[in-house]
């Protein structure tokens, strides 16, 4: 666990740290959009939900890219 924490310190200069941050950002973006969409009372088409979650993950990756580099 200490190795993982060490790899995630800024500036991130190794592949494992960048990978962990990318997974963290994508999961956070998907949960941030996916959980509220699950509890919306009216029915939203499946394609719209997937498009919204995909867009959120893309924005999360973009923010990760700007943060890491």
**For the chain, domain boundaries:** 2-68
Residue 8 has pLDDT above 80, yes or no: no
- Kindly report whether the global pTM for this prediction surpasses the value 0.85: no
At 34, list the tokens. Answer: 């996916």
Residue 69 has pLDDT above 80, yes or no: no
Q: 44-47 long-range contacts, Cβ below 8 Å, gap at least 24?
A: none
A 10 A CB-CB count for 38 gives: 9
At 27, list the tokens. Answer: 């999961």
Could you read off the pLDDT of 10-23 as tens digits, one per residue?
Answer: 677 788 888 888 88
């Amino acid at each position: 666990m200490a190795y993982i924490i060490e790899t995630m310190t800024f500036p991130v200069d190794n592949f494992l740290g960048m990978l962990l941050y990318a997974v963290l950002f994508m999961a956070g973006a998907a949960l941030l959009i996916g959980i509220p969409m699950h509890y919306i009372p009216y029915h939203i088409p499946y394609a719209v939900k997937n498009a919204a979650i995909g867009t959120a993950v893309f924005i999360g990756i973009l923010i990760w890219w700007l943060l890491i580099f």
